[in-house]
Amino acid sequence: MSKIALVGLSLFLIIGLSQTTLASSPEPDHQGRAPASRTLWVQAEGAAACLIGNHSGVSDSDVQTAASLVCDELRSHGIQVGQPVLALLNEQSLYRINLSLMGNTYIFDVTFESPPSQIQERRRVRLTSLDEVLDQAPRIADSLFSGAPLAEEGPAVVVEVAPPAETTTQPQYTGGIACLIGDHGGLPDSDAQTAAALACDELRRLGVAVGQPVTEAPGATQAYRVNTQRLGRIVMYELVYESPVGTPVDNRRLQLANIEEIPVAAPRLAQALVQGVPIEQTADVESLVGQETRQPGEMPGDTYWGIGIVGLGMVGTDIFGAPGVVFRFFYEATRYAVGSDILFAGGSPSGDDNGIFFSWGVGGRYFFNRGNIGIFAGGGFAWDTLATYRGGDEEYEDQWEGVDTGVGFYGEGGVEFFRMYGSRLLVMLRVDVPFFSLEEERYLSESDITLKDSNYVLPISLSVTYAW
């Protein structure tokens, strides 16, 4: 009898212990998430809420883990904050944890709101992978506790903008000014939702009572519509104010090099639209985007050296065909050329007169066509030196002599050959117009008399130049 009682007592103890063990074990999780989903709705009385916010493109379990890491760090600093929740049970202060994917970048930010939707503090970083949440969560919590701004560290890039929160389901329009998710051709819905969230958060920061991003807002009379459209690699990011909805009143747009520039562009769009200033006035050295950082294109052009031969004539004398040389340096584009040249010619191939002409000029030419043979006209200013020696008549053998220097203008026209090649051949007719006259003197040896006269001389030259 004692043996039977002993066996019965042993069985009773074994069954009781196994039931106790099963009762204390949590229900197994088959989806890799927190086993007790009801903890997402539990809030500590009097504590700030730890609210799971926008997480477009990120799983529920990942954003819940990120929220837990941040709020655990806040509690380690003595801040009373509850467990991560999906919705508020009452109007209280909160820490909103947003973790969303935009392109290849994760946007991780935390806002302190008191009351809800009125942002008092915010910290935000961009991550290249979710693994970086482990390192950035303590930094964000420390920064919120100390009130100091985040410092750049590691691969995360600090941005002074935070997206508003969003639940896992599409928010519904609740009245007031609507925040509409507009056209987003070529982009996933999650990216467009995040882009709208960023812009509307900035509007709220500037005092505009705009709601959460929605795709439609029945009954709304005013709206801010956020359009995010891809064109090849670039992204057109636009913020439009509509009143009534569907009637654009004002807008601002930026062209971005890629979708990752949206967090930088959103504050500028909101500021420009609310303050009514051009988008260019909102730029600084840290907020330039796509179109503003593009290297300006350049028209094709090359520099050339040239040397040629000259035939000179001087109107006002009987000098014609005086030989000379010309040296040129110029920059030539499709339709124009600018440069400098030095021309020297003189002698007396025909007639009794003799003369010398020196000119250093700076000017330009315009081409009337784009072909291999270009016709051009141009002009410029020059520093001229003129010297003439004119023979006397049959009665007097003595010469008129005059030398002077001054500024003048010149005009030219001609043809340039082989413009499609590396070397050029220029045939040019040039007329120099000095702004002075020659004061000439003639000494009569027989009567010992000196005669004076003023003579205006107009040099005309024909040149052939090879340039390379």
Task: Provide the pLDDT for residue 160.
Answer: 41
Contact 417, 373 (CB under 8 A): yes
DSSP designation for 183: -
C-alpha torsion sign, points 214, 215, 216, 222: positive
Tell me the domain boundaries of the chain. 39-160, 170-287, 301-467
The CATH code that applies to domain 301-467 is 2.40.160.20
Query: In angstroms, rounded to a whole number, what is the distance separating the alpha carbons of residues 63 and 66?
Result: 5
Query: In angstroms, rounded to a whole number, what is the distance separating the alpha carbons of residues 58 and 98?
Result: 10
SS3 417: strand
Check pLDDT > 90 for residue 292: no
Residue 63 or residue 29, greater confidence: 63
Query: Given the structure tokens 């609507």, which residue do they identify?
Result: 178
The CATH code that applies to domain 39-160 is 3.30.160.100
Please count the other Cβ atoms lying within 10 Å of the Cβ belonging to residue 46: 8
Residue 112 or residue 411, greater confidence: 411
Check pLDDT > 50 for residue 33: no
Average pLDDT over residues 129-144: 90
Most confident of 29-33, 189-193, 286-290, 298-302: 189-193
Please report how many Cα atoms fall inside a 13 Å half-sphere around the Cα of residue 126, on the Cβ side. Answer: 16
Query: What is the pLDDT confidence band of residue 385, given thresholds at 50, 70 and 90?
Result: very high
Query: In angstroms, rounded to a whole number, what is the distance separating the alpha carbons of residues 438 and 459?
Result: 13
Written as six digits, the tokens of 74 are: 């806040």
Query: What CATH architecture is 170-287?
Result: 3-Layer(aba) Sandwich (3.40)
C-alpha torsion sign, points 234, 294, 420, 337: positive
E strand spans, 62-218: 81-85, 94-102, 105-113, 119-127, 157-158, 177-181, 210-214
Query: What is the pLDDT confidence band of residue 37, given thresholds at 50, 70 and 90?
Result: very low
Please count the other Cβ atoms lying within 10 Å of the Cβ belonging to residue 124: 22
Q: In this prediction, what percent of the chain has a pLDDT beyond 70? A: 80
For 393-439, how does the pLDDT look when each residue is reduced to its tens digit (9 = 90+)? 544 456 778 899 999 999 999 999 999 888 999 999 999 999 999 88
E strand spans, 89-222: 94-102, 105-113, 119-127, 157-158, 177-181, 210-214
Query: In angstroms, rounded to a whole number, what is the distance separating the alpha carbons of residues 213 and 225?
Result: 9
C-alpha torsion sign, points 188, 190, 193, 195: negative
Query: What is the pLDDT confidence band of residue 126, given thresholds at 50, 70 and 90?
Result: confident
Query: What is the pLDDT confidence band of residue 382, given thresholds at 50, 70 and 90?
Result: very high
Task: Provide the pLDDT for residue 351.
Answer: 63
Task: Provide the pLDDT for residue 28.
Answer: 34
Q: Which of 9-13, 58-62, 398-402 is least confident?
A: 9-13
Average pLDDT over residues 147-159: 56
Query: In angstroms, rounded to a whole number, what is the distance separating the alpha carbons of residues 340 and 337?
Result: 10
The angle formed by the CA atoms of residues 462, 465 and 466, to the nearest 5 degrees, is 165
Task: Provide the pLDDT for residue 179.
Answer: 93
Task: Provide the pLDDT for residue 366.
Answer: 96
Query: What is the pLDDT confidence band of residue 458, given thresholds at 50, 70 and 90?
Result: very high
Task: Provide the pLDDT for residue 299.
Answer: 67
Q: Which of 37-41, 93-97, 151-155 is least confident?
A: 37-41
Contact 396, 444 (CB under 8 A): yes
Task: Provide the pLDDT for residue 169.
Answer: 47
For the chain, the average pLDDT equals 82
Query: What is the pLDDT confidence band of residue 166, given thresholds at 50, 70 and 90?
Result: very low
DSSP designation for 261: G
Residue 106 or residue 358, greater confidence: 358
Written as six digits, the tokens of 183 are: 């056209």
